[in-house]
Structure 1
Amino acid sequence: MIATQTITPRLERSYARLGVLLIAPTILVFSLVIVYPLLAAIYLSVFSIYTPTLEGNFVGAANYVKLLTGKAFWNSLGVTLIWTVGTLTLQIVFGVGMALLLHQNIWFRSLARSLVLFPYFLSTVVAVLVWRWLFNDLYGAMNHGLMQLGILDLPLDWLGSMPNAMIGVILVGAWKYFPFVVIAVLARLQTIPEHLYEAAKIDGAGPIARFWDVTLPQLRNVLVVIVLLRAIWDFKEFDLIYLLTGGGPVTSTQTLSLLVYQEAFGLNQMGQAAAYSVGMMLVMLVFMVVYIRKTGKEG
């Protein structure tokens, strides 16, 4: 009895030291990858720094005053919200629809489940090159097909004028990322008890009624998580939009990520770019808090 009481605290301390030792590499990597860049951005945001030399003067809150009073940040925030809401809506609609289709017992289901992942795993650069060719106003397949169908009389400049540029960017973003929704929703569909559908059929519910009364309530939790995750990822999207339009025409598709890049490497104002990035981080923090609270409640 006495031996057990003296050994147990030693074992607990030993396990505690082992736990700290095992988690130390993760904490180190987390600090280097996330904490240090965050603190560095906050530090740079109170200076007026010339990017090529990284030299400048302390300006205090001047960069944040420009952020709040200028139009650049708010215009880019509006563009970012339009892009995020537009592409996320299409991702959910097409993703859920495709997941419902692939959940059915169709003969090409295995092949279709493999092919539907193709856009998600395709390199962004390759995808953008293909879509830029499709959107080309002179020889693009998009204009050619619409003109053959009689929908258009003249070819459209898809990526060089508004609102066509924003529509084009949203379409490409939805096509690129909707497979993520398909994977998550399809996994949840396969766990819905079949007896729920059988009971709904006995009550006389048709396919649409079964979707609204059985399928959608069962998908609600996973859809909330999907929406929050995709909203965070789409909000900070950079490479796809930059390669498609570069933020143009003018600044009509310039999201906050592109604004930070343009300010830092186009105008060589690293301090102001850091202030914009901090403002962007604060907006994203809202999504992250909602996501953490939602997943915490489910846990």
Structure 2
Amino acid sequence: MRDRHLGAILLLPSGVLFLTLLAFPLGYGVYTSFFDIHLLERTGTFVGGRNYLWLLTNAEFWSALWLSVLWAGGTVGLQLVLGTAVALLLHQRFAGRSLARGLVLFPYMMPIVAVVLVWMLLYNALYGVVNYLLLQTGLVSQPIAWLSKPGSALWSVIFVGVWKYFPFVVVVVLARLQVIPQELYEAARIDGAGTVARFAEITLPQIRDVLVVVALLRTIWMFNNFEVVFLLTGGGPLRGTLTLPILVYEQAFAIYEVGKGSAIAVIMFLLLVGVMTLYFRLFSAEPE
């Protein structure tokens, strides 16, 4: 009995912290989503599910949802591929490996404002390095306004998101690679397995669980990511990069419709809960 009470007492501070930092803001967000609240007014009017009905019948919401899926899916998929490839490279022995491992973290450590400023200069249609290299190699015949057209703007911000955050994948995958028993590779070499076979039969199964966890975390973080797209394009051009976090910001802080902004945030939360539930159902079962 004493041990049980002691455990409850020791868990009390973390429980209070959880309620203060997570449960209360989440509950209050759900509460405000049922009200017509203006940011500059002290009180709001209860409207029930009207804000959610507005979302379901609003074409801009569905467009932002689709663009958010493209943004999160594109960045996460490319981060996993690039991060795994770089981790495999940095796992090999070569001169300067320690320096390379340090440098690969540079994008992740850079402040997001600095990252956006650098890439806006690189993407500049008149004097940007990206257009200069493409013109010099003959891949394009005229400069491309990367951030001025909806299609190119979306892929441009996806590329920046990949460049900024792929080092996280590198660190996690590299840590897993370093604890794979080398005896497995030695036995495979004796059996005549080549590089591709060793990767497919040993490396990939060994890092599979890590990749799944990283994919889940990166999906949550990128789906909620606001700063990269907002600072690069502000959701434009022509709403071509308008994601749900930007739509929440616009509703709540640009036109002061806090209730509608909260409703969008609640929908985002429910979507991510659905993704997490699917993840646990697919990957949490113990292998037989």
TM score, norm. by length of structure 2: 0.95
Matched, 1:201 2:189: yes
Shift of 1:247: 0.8
Summarize deviations over 1:187-220 as a string: whole Å, max 9, x none.
Answer: 1111111121112112221111111111111111
Q: For the residues of structure 1 that align with 2:51 and 2:30, how far apart are their CA atoms? A: 11
Q: For the residues of structure 2 that align with 1:268 and 1:250, how far apart are their CA atoms? A: 22
- Tell me which moved more, 262-271 or 54-63: 54-63
3-state SS of 2:28 partner: helix
Aligned residues of 1:229 and 1:291 also touching (Cα < 8 A) = no
Q: CA RMSD in A?
A: 1.6
Matched, 1:122 2:110: yes
Aligned counterpart, 2:67: 79
- Tell me which moved more, 101-110 or 28-37: 28-37
3-state SS of 1:158 partner: coil
Summarize deviations over 1:8-30 as a string: whole Å, max 9, x none.
Answer: xxxx42x3333223222211121
Aligned residues of 1:260 and 1:274 also touching (Cα < 8 A) = yes
Aligned residues of 2:105 and 2:167 also touching (Cα < 8 A) = yes
Bigger-Rg structure (1/2): 1
Matched, 1:31 2:9: no
Aligned residues of 2:125 and 2:146 also touching (Cα < 8 A) = yes
Q: For the residues of structure 1 that align with 2:105 and 2:286, how far apart are their CA atoms? A: 28
3-state SS of 2:203 partner: helix
Shift of 1:111: 0.3
Aligned counterpart, 2:150: 162
Aligned counterpart, 1:6: none
Letter of the 1:69 partner, please give it: T
3-state SS of 2:37 partner: strand
Aligned counterpart, 2:238: 250
Shift of 1:298: 6.4
Q: For the residues of structure 2 that align with 1:54 and 1:119, how far apart are their CA atoms? A: 43
Matched, 1:98 2:86: yes
Summarize deviations over 1:244-297 as a string: whole Å, max 9, x none.
Answer: 111111211111111100111112111111111111111011123245557855
Q: For the residues of structure 2 that align with 1:294 and 1:78, how far apart are their CA atoms? A: 24
Matched, 1:187 2:175: yes
TM score, norm. by length of structure 1: 0.92
Q: For the residues of structure 1 that align with 2:42 and 2:202, how far apart are their CA atoms? A: 58
Summarize deviations over 1:149-199 as a string: whole Å, max 9, x none.
Answer: 111211111111121101111100001111111111111111111121112
For residues 89 and 47 of structure 1, do their structure 2 counterparts lie closer, same or farther at Cα, with a shift above 3 Å needed?
Answer: same
Q: State the aligned residue count.
A: 287
Aligned residues of 2:150 and 2:238 also touching (Cα < 8 A) = no
Aligned residues of 2:150 and 2:239 also touching (Cα < 8 A) = no
Shift of 1:123: 0.8
Percent same amino acid at aligned positions? 48
3-state SS of 1:205 partner: coil
Q: For the residues of structure 2 that align with 1:278 and 1:70, how far apart are their CA atoms? A: 16
Alignment partner for residue 152 of structure 1, among 107, 120, 140? 140
Q: For the residues of structure 2 that align with 1:30 and 1:229, how far apart are their CA atoms? A: 20
Aligned counterpart, 1:44: 32
Shift of 1:145: 1.4
Alignment partner for residue 213 of structure 1, among 193, 201, 206? 201
Q: For the residues of structure 2 that align with 1:119 and 1:287, how far apart are their CA atoms? A: 28
Unaligned residue ranges in structure 2 (runs of 5+): none
Unaligned residue ranges in structure 1 (runs of 5+): 1-11
Shift of 1:50: 1.1
Aligned counterpart, 1:61: 49
Q: For the residues of structure 2 that align with 1:169 and 1:23, how far apart are their CA atoms? A: 42
